[in-house]
Structure 1
C-alpha cells in the first residue's frame, strides 16, 4: 500500500513539473518556443496572465507565470512580437491571480510540456 501511495505521489509531482509555467523572454524570435503579443484589452487575449513573485507560485498552464533570471531555468522561452498577426498566443496581463486563465483553449498546447530542443534541468549533469 505504501509503495502504491509513493508511486502515485511521485507521478503527481513529476507530471506537475512538466507543466509549470517558468518563462524566460528571449531577444530573438528564432530562440523562442512561443511568440507572444500583449493585447490592450482582455477580450482580445487567448490567455490572461498573472505574474507571480515566486517560482513556487507558478501555475500549471493556467496563466500564472514566473519569469526566470536565466533561460536554462525556464520551461518555455517567449518572444514578444510587435503585431498580433505574428503571435502564436495573445496575452493580457491581469491584476489579480483569480483572473488568470485560458480564454482560447485550442492555443493551450503551446505551453504544454517542455521544449524537446532544450535540455531539462534534470537532464543536466551535476558537477
Structure 2
C-alpha cells in the first residue's frame, strides 16, 4: 500500500502545479492570493505575461495567463494595486506568446 502513496501524491502535486496560470482578478486586496502591479517597461517586470485566449493554453508557470470569469475556476486570485511598492509581483503584458517568461525567478513560487 505504501508504494502507491508516493505516485498518487506526485500526480496530485503535478496537477496542481500545471494549472497555476488560471487567474481571476478580484475587487479587494484582502481577497487576493497575489497583489500585482503592471509596470510600464519590460525590464521593470518580475514576470512578462501573455494573455491566452483559451484555458487549455495556460498550463505552466511561464507567464501565459488565462483570465477566468469566476473566482472558483481560478487557481490564483490576483488584485491589481495602484503603486509598485504595494505589489508582491510586478508584471508587464506582452503582445506575443514567445515573449512571456520570468525576469525574476525568485518570485516564481508566488504563482504555484
Aligned-residue Cα RMSD (Å) equals 1.8
Structure 1 equivalent of residue 3 of structure 2: none
Residue 18 (structure 1) aligned with residue 17 (structure 2): yes
Structure 1 distance, partners of 2:66, 2:22, is 5
**Unmatched 5+ stretches in structure 1:** 1-6, 113-127
Partners in 1 of 2:71 and 2:109 — Cα distance?
20
Measure the CA separation in 1 of the matches of 2:15 and 2:97: 19
> How does the TM-score come out when normalised to structure 1?
0.76
Q: In structure 2, list runs of 5 or more residues that go unmatched.
A: 1-6
Measured in 2, the distance between the counterparts of 1:28 and 1:75 equals 17
- Structure 1 segments, 4+ long, off by >4 Å, are none
Alpha-carbon contact 1:16-1:60 (below 8 Å) kept: no
SS of the residue corresponding to residue 43 of structure 1 reads helix
1:79 positional shift: 0.2
**Which structure exhibits the higher relative contact order, with contacts defined as CA atoms closer than 8 Å and separated by 6 or more residues?**
2
Find out whether 1:79 has 2:79 as its counterpart: yes
Deviation of the 1:14 alpha carbon: 6.2
Q: Provide the C-alpha distance between the structure 1 equivalents of 2:13 and 2:56, rounded to a whole number of angstroms.
A: 14
Superposition TM-score, scaled by structure 2 size: 0.86
Aligned twin of 2:99: 99
Deviations 1:29-78 (A, max 9, x none): 00000000000000100000000000000031110000000000000000
Q: Which has the larger radius of gyration?
A: 1
